[in-house]
Chain A
Amino acid sequence: MKLTGAEILIECLKREGVKTIFALPGGVVLKIFDMLHQQKDIEVVLTRHEQGAGHMAEGYAKATGKAGVCLVTSGPGMTNVITALADAYMDSVPLVCFSGQVPTSLIGNDAFQEADNMGLSRPCTKYNFLVKDVKDLAVTIKEAFYIATTGRPGPVLVDIPKDVSMDKAEFTYPSSVSIRSYNPVYEGNKWQIKQAAEAMTKAKKPVLYVGGGVIFSGASQELIELAELTHMPVDMTLMGLGAFPGEHPQSMGMLGMHGTYWANMVMHYSDLVVAIGARFDDRVTGKVSEFCPHAKVIHIDIDPTSIRKNVNVDIPIVGDCKLVLRELIQILRATVNGDQRELRKPWWNQIREWQQANPLAYQQEADGPIKPQHVIQRLYELTKDRDPIVSTDVGQHQMWAAQYFKLAKPNRWLTSGGLGTMGFGFPAAMGAQAAFPGRLVLCIAGDGSIQMNMQEMATAVVHKLPVKIIILNNRFHGMVRQWQDLFYEGRYASSYLETTPDFVKLAEAYGAVGLRASKPSEIDDVLKEAIAVNKPVIVDVPTYPYENVYPMIPAGGCNHEMILEDPPALKNKQSGAGQMASKDSDTILTA
């Protein structure tokens, strides 16, 4: 039987097991939406902006490990979704984005709502397709899902001209794909793995440095086993949080620019760095020339380009983390016995010293302004037994969440790492909630970043996605303000927001629930109330505006030279300024 392009698209999605897509219609995709409207297998989440659709698909993908799917129209629909594609590309999120295109006869004519979707998306997708003939549609979609989810995952765009969605063709869905020029390597080189195992048994001061690759390859169990077998400390990148249980005694937490003191010290003084599914980002390495000066480096990654891109590697292993770790464990089990613990005793003594010397700290006075870290700490304590999914936007709140919200399992942490996209958190949380309607999904946001995709509250209300947003409201672009205080002599150029909307009323205006905690003593009750509601909730928490994120490695600084607290000059300045600002905030919030 012959089907239209739109019907073929839907049939393909069903065969790929897609249950939910995030979409916004427009002229050239009307046929597709018309067909979606007449079926019940795939839920269409109508977003209020295409960027939201893209981030929701990302949240869905990160929480489920499957490809997220979004559908947008040509021209502005496409340009709006670009941010999400670029974000997914940086963070290796499997995504399939369908974009509408003007009819093939009009391509290149500057038709209404035409944009060069292929040209726009080329640098921010793993691959992109323009389907010029409906006969190619099914096989293209099969290839798109295959490319998005295999090897190092990433976003794939399928551009569908209007006439292709309306033309008819015989539908057959290919059962398998073979692309001669695309053959990801999964099995690690055995000789290299043996070398790595040998280096790991000998090292006195080793560290496992793990990233998002561990999560995408589903290698958390293997990682735990490897860490326990070899008795090595585990540093996690921002994207790797959750790959290893945050409360495990061997967890060092996050490393890098705002990582814990000990996670960075461990890196700097180690004699062996075992990088697994991580890419030596500049936020991790700091000054490359002084990065891990004493260490040999083993690098396990599925993407060969990640290896030796930023730092030199002694033992490169290209392969899937899960498979490589399994092999490593097998070799190590045969060679390692209890002596690892003994061998590394001095290393662990040193690590425990570091941990005691500079723990993560903040001071919350009972009747003082609310400290943002305290809110996250309380949120963590109150929700950790419910195994929540946590999303964040980008900035100070993100770093505090990374430091204080200790994730026990993978696929619980949705954050924008590589691209650092403000406005990511809320739609990503909604995507995860759409995948897991019964789970508790938290979105930790700042007052600056939440406003970048606030419009999606309407989507959350309509589609009953009861995401709990906790806004740490300091009325600043806080991280910008922090840098201005530390490096620009406190000149707050365009970092002070002056006014933010009344988020409680705003939530109510959308038909969601708005709550506010104004004093430290109210935090627990308000958070509990928010968690209990089965509706989208905004919890607005006015926080002390001058709190800074520490430790901090200044950009281009060296990993063992961290700023651990406000420099004295800043402390003095803020003791005065803080009071003024908190008074100021009272007038705004009660006005």
Chain B
Amino acid sequence: MEHIISVTVENKFGSLSRIAGLFSGRGFNIESLSVAPTLDPSMSQMTIVTSGDERIIEQIVKQLNKLIDVIKVVDLNESDFVSRETALIKVHTRSEDRAEALRIADIFRANVIDSTPTTYTIEVTGDPRKIEAIINLLQPLGIKELTRTGRVAVARELIRSTDVQAKKVVRE
């Protein structure tokens, strides 16, 4: 099952490679990984999308915690969370396709952030299904380049403890 793990790490030389090395060395999957600074410049925030059964996820969380540069690990699947991903899609547009490309972007509330005589670059943000959907629609026009940020996620606030309890029971 897919899990999103949020990891707060020391913003130090080598922290990223320690985490990447842990995943490759122990054969854990990384579907996507994003890193960026936090409000506190001494820390970085990573969002790792991974998959595995319950025992593997437990190991991933424990092994991450064991790394000395790791300050905090949260398996977001333990609670409610929201996640988003951004994609930049460079679409090949002949003159007759340009209106169609704009229409598709509009449907997905995506923005055209750059254009050349033969391309539009479309920026879209959403959950992975939305991104997949716009890609599918744009593909017939011809996608020249695609780059995705990988997901970032954050836990929702103010979950009543009973909700968490109920969820745990369901999982077990």
Binding site for B on A (CB under 8 A): 118-119, 122-123, 126-127, 130, 147, 179-182, 303-305, 307-309
| Interface membership of B71, Cβ < 8 A | yes
Interface residues of chain B: helix, strand, loop or mixed (majority) = helix
Q: Please name the residue on chain B nearest to A304 by beta carbon.
A: B62
Q: In the complex the two chains form, is B68's CB within 8 Å of A126's CB? A: yes
Q: In the complex the two chains form, is B17's CB within 8 Å of A122's CB? A: yes
Q: In the complex the two chains form, is A123's CB within 8 Å of B14's CB? A: no
A368 to B155, CA, bound (A): 74
CB distance from A160 to the nearest CB of B (A): 15
A127 to B18, CA, bound (A): 9
CB distance from B57 to the nearest CB of A (A): 11
Map CB proximity to A onto B27-44 as digits: 1 under 8 Å, 0 otherwise: 000000000000000000
The 8 closest A-B pairs by CB, nearest first: A305-B62, A181-B71, A127-B68, A182-B68, A304-B62, A123-B25, A305-B63, A305-B66
Q: Please name the residue on chain A nearest to B24 by beta carbon.
A: A123
B: contact size bracket: 10 to 19
Residues of chain A with a CB closer than 8 A to B63's CB: 305
CB distance from A189 to the nearest CB of B (A): 16
Q: Please name the residue on chain A nearest to B10 by beta carbon.
A: A181
**CB contact under 8 A between A303 and B66, given known A122-B18, A308-B55:** yes
Residues of chain A with a CB closer than 8 A to B17's CB: 119, 122
| Interface membership of B58, Cβ < 8 A | yes
Partner of B68, one of A119, A123, A181, A304: A181
Residues of chain B with a CB closer than 8 A to A182's CB: 68
Partner of A122, one of B9, B21, B62: B21
CB distance from B5 to the nearest CB of A (A): 15
Q: In the complex the two chains form, is B14's CB within 8 Å of A118's CB? A: yes
**CB contact under 8 A between A180 and B68, given known A123-B21, A130-B13, A305-B63:** no
Q: In the complex the two chains form, is A304's CB within 8 Å of B65's CB? A: yes
| Interface membership of B69, Cβ < 8 A | yes
CB distance from B44 to the nearest CB of A (A): 12
- List residues 58-93 of chain B with CB under 8 A from any CB of chain A: 58-59, 62-63, 65-66, 68-71
Q: In the complex the two chains form, is B66's CB within 8 Å of A308's CB? A: no
Residues of chain A with a CB closer than 8 A to B69's CB: 181
Residues of chain A with a CB closer than 8 A to B13's CB: 130
Q: In the complex the two chains form, is A122's CB within 8 Å of B14's CB? A: yes
Residues of chain B with a CB closer than 8 A to A304's CB: 62, 65-66
Residues of chain B with a CB closer than 8 A to A180's CB: 71
CB distance from B37 to the nearest CB of A (A): 17
CB distance from A302 to the nearest CB of B (A): 11
Q: What are 10 sample pairs from A and B whose C-beta atoms fall under 8 A apart?
A: A126-B68, A127-B68, A179-B68, A180-B71, A181-B68, A181-B69, A303-B66, A305-B59, A308-B55, A309-B59
A182 to B68, CA, bound (A): 6
CB distance from B11 to the nearest CB of A (A): 12
A352 to B110, CA, bound (A): 76
A561 to B23, CA, bound (A): 35
Residues of chain A with a CB closer than 8 A to B9's CB: 181
Map CB proximity to A onto B1-26 as digits: 1 under 8 Å, 0 otherwise: 00000000110011001100100010
Given contacts A127-B68, A304-B66, A308-B55, list 15 more A-B pairs with CB under 8 A.
A119-B17, A122-B21, A123-B25, A126-B68, A130-B14, A181-B9, A181-B10, A181-B68, A181-B71, A303-B66, A304-B62, A305-B62, A305-B66, A307-B62, A309-B59
Q: Please name the residue on chain A nearest to B64 by beta carbon.
A: A305
A510 to B61, CA, bound (A): 52
A116 to B10, CA, bound (A): 21
